[in-house]
Amino acid sequence: MNKEELIKKASEFIETSEDNYIKKENAISDEIVGMKIFDAPIFAFWDAEDQYFRRLKHSDAIGSHFIFPKEWLPQGKTVIFYFLPFTETVRKGNSQENY
């Protein structure tokens, strides 16, 4: 699977997953039932042997307990990072203006 296929499949999964929409049994009010929680995921791909990972062992970053990608998955070639951003509706609902 290439990067474009992975991104497409993940985006489709997030868009169509029933877990990405607020269910009646979990809603704090009827107004938010069916509200979408996450927008499409954001991806980044990084070479597992990139020397930048060494900086993460520094105490001003993660620290000595950080494990290099090749330490826990020696055959790995690429590190895949992803982030699920909240929808604008969720962000507005969680803003300080609402508290």
Per-residue pLDDT tens over the stretch 35-52: 999 999 999 999 999 999
- Same domain? For 5 and 37 the reply is yes
Task: Enter the pTM of the model.
Answer: 0.76
Domain range enclosing 19: 1-41+84-99
- Same domain? For 92 and 60 the reply is no
Percentage of the chain surpassing pLDDT 90? 91
- Same domain? For 52 and 73 the reply is yes
- Same domain? For 8 and 26 the reply is yes
- Same domain? For 90 and 73 the reply is no
With bands split at pLDDT 50, 70 and 90, how would you rate the model's confidence at 98? low
Number of domains the chain contains: 2
Residue 23: how many other CB atoms lie within 10 Å: 10
The reported pLDDT for the residue numbered 7 is 97
- Same domain? For 35 and 63 the reply is no
- Same domain? For 51 and 72 the reply is yes
Within 1-99, strands assigned E span 42-47, 78-83
Question: Distance of CA 46 to CAs 7, 42, 67, 70, 95, Å?
Answer: 15, 14, 15, 12, 33
